[in-house]
Structure 1
Amino acid sequence: MGEVYRADDLRLGQPVALKFLPEALAGDATRMARFLGEVRMARQVSHSSVCRVYDIGEADHRHFISMEYVDGEDLASLLRRIGRLPQDKAVVVARQICAGLSAAHDKGILHRDLKPANIMIDGRGHVRITDFGLAVLEDGTGAQNDRAGTPYYMAPEQLAGKPLSVQSDLYALGLILYELFTGSPAFHAGSMAELVRAREESGPPSPSSRVAGLDPQIERVILRCLQRVPDDRPASALAVAASLPGGDPLRAALEAGETPSPELVAAAGAKGGLGTRQAWACFSGVVVGLAAALVLAGSSQITAFVPLELPPQVLEHRAREILHQLGYSAPFRDSAFGFTGEGDYLRHVAREDHSPWRWQTLRGGRPPAVSFWYRQSPQLLVPSLFGRRWPDRDDPPLTTPGMEQVVLDTQGRLTSLTVVPPRLIEPAGSTATPEWAGLFAEAGLEQGTFQPVPPSSIPPVYADTRAAWAGALSALPIRIEAAALKGRPISFEMIYPWRSTPQGDPETTTAWQDARRIASAVFELGFLLGAALVARRNLRQGRGHREGAFRLAAFTFVVRMFTWLFGAPHVLGGEEMNLLLGNLAYALFDSAELWILYIALEPTLRRLWPEGIVAWVRALDGRLLDPLVARDALIGTLLGVLAAMVAPLIRIVLPWLGLQSPSPDAPTNLLGLRGLRYLVSLLFWAPISALEVSLFCVAFLLLARILLRRWWLAVLAVPLGMLSFVDLPDGSRLATLIFAACGMTFGLIALLRFGVLTWVVSCFAAVLLSSFPLTVDLTSWYAAGTLLVASVLVAMATYGLKVSLHGHSVIAPALARAQA
């Protein structure tokens, strides 16, 4: 629409093109609006394959547009002059058209009049898409059902006056590519009716029938673009470019100084997965590594060092039996139980015993390294800490009259008793003498072997009688404090040397530890605030893969809710709504945190390291049957299993070398020992933990890359920075450093060699193997965690094996030859 002239910018000394609105149409409000719209639309798109529009002006009452001058000819005249381009050159031109069209689509702009006459080829053979006079916004701004345009290049839905989409422009792109590769139009029609009939009754002749030797990939992508139903066409112009043979559109975008879009990233990279031998090697590695990891973890977790013959149901019955024998048999409304690690005891052993085999002392079960606690209450046991999903040993606090708590070692012996007395008691009378011998018997002790001493600890509840004894147990001095009310025991506590009171001393820390914790908290808060500011900037500049961020946040929210659904106690009444609201708040916070972090990181990742997120973007798009996604999932599972072997292997090997090993690994809060539903809750918690850890590490690596400007320097800086967050206990510094170095080495291999998806999956596999109580004794009462973890990891490896083969035989080559 309009006349175009070459002109010279006298001030800048550069040629420009001036497009004038015909004088006869200057008073036409509709044409004038379209003229202004062309400037408005074109100025939103900045790409080397789109003709730049500078400004709009007026001279002698004639309106004109100043734009980039392209020294060349349009594609229509070029095809008329030479017929068709050679296939290699046509592929190059086609890719440039796709790149320019994709840039417009990224801004939500539909061209609507894409045709060879609107595509300029400059003197160097580079493409410029021109004439956005009919362009509209995809979100509905503008007359999308307007039939304006060139009928031959209109999509069927555009001819019918229906709403348009990206696929409408892709139909016109298909017609252009048809002419580009064959030199002739796809349809021959003398009128609009003949054109519509030709499209409806028969598709275009196959391009290969017009040009012998045409690459089948080219023919397939052209015919896909020319499908009558929009949903049957490619998803984007970049998908068309990626389907063309040869070349690397991702690398071309980077070399042009552009940030590739998420669609280009997803369309780039390898299309296939693994060969049969490689896939089977990875699968076999997962199975063998899983078996080894289970053996090692089953020998290094704290559950392997303490006697766990009695299941929680037996210990629960034992606790109730103790309460009943002490006279506490009133009905209760709610109860809870669980296992907890005695960290004070483990720190005492690490501090006092420097022998290589120091942790073998835990096998005796006394003092207990793991305790079982049981609580019952006349009221619902609802956690008081905001966001906590289940009751714990200290939450809700023991403040309600009638609450009773019993703590046993894993062999069922009493170690602690607390009973909250009623608020009203009878007037003081003769006080019966408490039967302390019964408490000693429940604790598996002989009262006669202990000497009475003056009590020195205030009991946690009100009492009118206090008593204390001192003695020795397992070659350790021990003090026992007890209290009673009206002759009934209400408090009993075994106090070891590392604890001076029933509540325990506050953990003492050094000035360096305090400084490091403060620095860590400040860094985390500053990091999150910085990520929020960067995310805000990216959003204002129209950057960021919003769809991927939303899917990631939605996944986090759903998984977080399932974690609460299976792991939290559920009650009838208003308290359930409070629990739900608290967990909703935490789920929304986790989702928002990952959304912000992803929006902040993803555009920079696409600019600096797009190859590393190809499979990740495809996975976020829901393309789980993509061979590349399955390949990275399989390799990530293998690396995660191998990484999970490092820590237990160090704990087993170091004593044989005469070195001290770190304390046994305690599965997350020993939660999995509570029962199957808690195991399922842990299973849903694992991906959230893996996502948080992996994205944090990616952010750390990316920040180091930006500051140091070299990947190899960033790789060196990340382990040094991450070690500042690793706690180095006394007596285990060397072992902990080895563990941290080996673990981060595996992580960097996964991240830098295979990309973000492999890194996330490897973190997930490692979290599973480190968070569940594992055992190789499948007859053990807590073997369900082992079976669940093994089933999930084998299922992931099986998925990776089958899908990554991408049409290859699942049967190993040797077996296939044997069957042939």
Structure 2
Amino acid sequence: MTNHDSTKPGHLAELEKQYQDLLNNNFLQWNNRRTFSRCLGVGGQGVVYLSAREGADGFNIPVALKLFSPKRYDNARAYQTEMGRLSQVAARVARVQENHLVAVQNFVRRKQIYIMEMEWVDGYDLRSLLTPATFKQIREQVTLRRWKNINNNVFTKGVQQPRLKPGIAVAILRECLAALAALHRNDIIHCDMKPANIMLKRSGNAKIIDIGSAIDLNNLPSNQPCTPTYAAPEVLSGERATPQSDLASLGYILIEVITGFQPFANLKYAQLIKAKQNILQQLPQWFPDEEFALSEPLMKLIHRLVHPNPAERFASAEAADLGEDGAAEFHRLLVKSDLPSDYENELRLWIEEVETDYFDEGQFTADPDTTVFTTRAWQDQDLDELSAES
């Protein structure tokens, strides 16, 4: 039994007793409130809110809460079964400590509704950044000299929307590959790679978000969610997603952000499958003339990401980054050509120049692929998904 010093002030002796009681109990009853600050996204899976984790004496950090709706399920049991599976996926992802992957912090049930809590990411998603409105806003804000530098090194006009310069685009790709590699090593497939699910932080780094469609290869769901525009052809045809399916989706994103052209927009399901199966024949005509000198190594990289046959794609995300014809090899060629290579700093400066007010509360940008809306400083978008029957 613990002896207390009777010479100490009463309140201090009581505090010491409470401290010792906590240690002796070996558990804590930990309850705290989450207030919904504002809605960050609405889609097929439910709603995402900006909230905060509150602690003692004014401690407060922002978090994102994703509330999963039961509306899309046939009955309560189907909802609970799928949430049970997703809870296990979330637990696996939460253990993956990778700087370029959104951190899952909790998965709870309140009044029979399931909620995922995630880190808050201060930045903008690629879909929101690569819009004519953002392009116009930055042009009006910066000096002519700075605008010329941005156009030469970061982003410029594209076919349908602003496009990233190849060095910057591949720098973002490499950080996404690091996140996917970490997931794949744990038998987790993201299953919903798209521009809206890639955040650029104010630090200049990229982070993959939204694991609401992720699957565990050891515990497969009956249905496989996807966003058809960015899904690999084998997934659209009803086959199971694999690591190579995530690589194909990342390849489609790379094509889009480098060219400013969305090759699969507004296509029907059968047309999507055919277009992706014939993609290698279409690639040469999609790239801007001024980048022609870089086309051959860039084409090799893209070919091995988006090849219609999964067996012909890179063997892994690590190979897509560091292997033959991979992203790192392309970057080495840029350095040998004396092209700018301080990508992180360029991205950080560019993100700083995005006008905060443009993305403030109430100013939303629609994702053309889904019914979800995106805004500033959030992380796990809930995007309207279609399910490909397995």
1:40 Cα offset (Å): 2.5
Counterpart position of 2:318: 238
Counterpart position of 2:119: 68
Cα distance change on mapping 1:240 and 1:162 into 2, 3 Å: same
Cα distance change on mapping 1:92 and 1:199 into 2, 3 Å: closer
- Report Cα offsets for 1:356-415 as digits up to 9, x if no partner: xxxxxxxxxxxxxxxxxxxxxxxxxxxxxxxxxxxxxxxxxxxxxxxxxxxxxxxxxxxx
- Report if the CA contact (8 A) 1:147-1:159 is conserved: no
Correspondent of 1:142 among 209, 213, 220: 220
- Report Cα offsets for 1:711-742 as digits up to 9, x if no partner: xxxxxxxxxxxxxxxxxxxxxxxxxxxxxxxx
Correspondent of 1:187 among 259, 264, 271: 264
Counterpart position of 1:126: 205
1:209 Cα offset (Å): 3.8
The separation in 1 between residues aligned to 2:284 and 2:188, in whole angstroms, is 29
Structure 2: 5+ residue stretches without partners: 1-44, 136-161, 334-390
* Structure ID, larger Rg: 1
1:50 Cα offset (Å): 0.2
**1:13 equivalenced with 2:60 (yes/no):** yes
- Report Cα offsets for 1:89-140 as digits up to 9, x if no partner: 21221111111111111112111222222222222221111222222233x4
Counterpart position of 2:379: none
The separation in 2 between residues aligned to 1:239 and 1:213, in whole angstroms, is 28
- Report if the CA contact (8 A) 1:90-1:181 is conserved: yes
Cα distance change on mapping 1:207 and 1:33 into 2, 3 Å: farther
Mapping 1:274-673, distance limit 5 Å: none
1:225 Cα offset (Å): 1.1
- Report if the CA contact (8 A) 1:55-1:67 is conserved: yes
Correspondent of 1:43 among 86, 94, 115: 94
Residue 262 of structure 2 aligns with an amino acid whose one-letter code is P
1:41 Cα offset (Å): 3.6
Correspondent of 1:212 among 273, 284, 289: 289
Cα distance change on mapping 1:108 and 1:61 into 2, 3 Å: closer
Counterpart position of 2:274: 197
Counterpart position of 1:228: 308
Residue 311 of structure 2 aligns with an amino acid whose one-letter code is D
- Report Cα offsets for 1:54-106 as digits up to 9, x if no partner: 11234455432111101122222222344222222212211111111111111
Counterpart position of 2:253: 176
The separation in 2 between residues aligned to 1:131 and 1:104, in whole angstroms, is 13
The separation in 2 between residues aligned to 1:133 and 1:178, in whole angstroms, is 24
Cα distance change on mapping 1:208 and 1:193 into 2, 3 Å: closer
1:202 Cα offset (Å): 5.3
The separation in 2 between residues aligned to 1:5 and 1:247, in whole angstroms, is 41
- Report if the CA contact (8 A) 2:261-2:286 is conserved: no
Residue 308 of structure 2 aligns with an amino acid whose one-letter code is R
Cα distance change on mapping 1:53 and 1:192 into 2, 3 Å: same
- Report if the CA contact (8 A) 1:115-1:172 is conserved: yes
- Report if the CA contact (8 A) 1:9-1:16 is conserved: yes
Residue 103 of structure 1 aligns with an amino acid whose one-letter code is A
1:23 Cα offset (Å): 6.1
Cα distance change on mapping 1:202 and 1:107 into 2, 3 Å: closer
1:219 Cα offset (Å): 2.1
The separation in 1 between residues aligned to 2:81 and 2:106, in whole angstroms, is 20
The SS at the match of 1:228 is: coil
Count of equivalent residues: 246
Cα distance change on mapping 1:190 and 1:50 into 2, 3 Å: same
Would you tell me which structure has more strand in proportion to its own residues?
2
The SS at the match of 1:70 is: coil
Give % identity: 32
- Report Cα offsets for 1:276-328 as digits up to 9, x if no partner: xxxxxxxxxxxxxxxxxxxxxxxxxxxxxxxxxxxxxxxxxxxxxxxxxxxxx
1:204 Cα offset (Å): 5.9
Counterpart position of 1:52: 103
Higher relative contact order (CA 8 A, sep 6+): 2
Cα distance change on mapping 1:93 and 1:23 into 2, 3 Å: same
- Report if the CA contact (8 A) 2:279-2:308 is conserved: no
Counterpart position of 1:455: none
Counterpart position of 2:184: 105
Correspondent of 1:163 among 222, 225, 240: 240
Counterpart position of 1:404: none
The SS at the match of 2:225 is: coil
Mapping 1:742-761, distance limit 5 Å: none
The separation in 2 between residues aligned to 1:76 and 1:25, in whole angstroms, is 26
Residue 190 of structure 1 aligns with an amino acid whose one-letter code is L
Residue 53 of structure 2 aligns with an amino acid whose one-letter code is D
- Report if the CA contact (8 A) 1:37-1:133 is conserved: no
Cα distance change on mapping 1:79 and 1:37 into 2, 3 Å: farther
The separation in 2 between residues aligned to 1:119 and 1:153, in whole angstroms, is 13
The separation in 2 between residues aligned to 1:116 and 1:98, in whole angstroms, is 14
The separation in 2 between residues aligned to 1:23 and 1:166, in whole angstroms, is 29
Cα distance change on mapping 1:9 and 1:227 into 2, 3 Å: same
Cα distance change on mapping 1:32 and 1:240 into 2, 3 Å: same
- Report if the CA contact (8 A) 1:146-1:161 is conserved: no
- Report if the CA contact (8 A) 2:167-2:331 is conserved: no
Residue 49 of structure 2 aligns with an amino acid whose one-letter code is Y
1:247 Cα offset (Å): 5.6
Residue 158 of structure 1 aligns with an amino acid whose one-letter code is V
- Report if the CA contact (8 A) 1:38-1:134 is conserved: no
Cα distance change on mapping 1:236 and 1:21 into 2, 3 Å: same
The SS at the match of 1:17 is: strand
Mapping 1:77-88, distance limit 5 Å: 77-80=128-131, 81-82=134-135, 83-88=162-167
Residue 14 of structure 1 aligns with an amino acid whose one-letter code is I
- Report if the CA contact (8 A) 1:178-1:207 is conserved: no
The separation in 2 between residues aligned to 1:38 and 1:240, in whole angstroms, is 24
The separation in 2 between residues aligned to 1:88 and 1:52, in whole angstroms, is 27
The separation in 2 between residues aligned to 1:223 and 1:209, in whole angstroms, is 13
- Report Cα offsets for 1:319-352 as digits up to 9, x if no partner: xxxxxxxxxxxxxxxxxxxxxxxxxxxxxxxxxx
- Report if the CA contact (8 A) 1:114-1:173 is conserved: yes
The SS at the match of 1:40 is: helix
Structure 1: 5+ residue stretches without partners: 249-820
- Report if the CA contact (8 A) 1:189-1:195 is conserved: no
The separation in 2 between residues aligned to 1:184 and 1:113, in whole angstroms, is 20
Cα distance change on mapping 1:209 and 1:58 into 2, 3 Å: closer
- Report Cα offsets for 1:775-798 as digits up to 9, x if no partner: xxxxxxxxxxxxxxxxxxxxxxxx
The separation in 2 between residues aligned to 1:180 and 1:204, in whole angstroms, is 19
Residue 235 of structure 1 aligns with an amino acid whose one-letter code is A
Would you tell me which structure has more helix in proportion to its own residues?
1
Normalised TM-score (structure 2): 0.57
Cα distance change on mapping 1:240 and 1:29 into 2, 3 Å: same
1:37 Cα offset (Å): 4.1
Counterpart position of 1:593: none
Cα distance change on mapping 1:31 and 1:117 into 2, 3 Å: farther
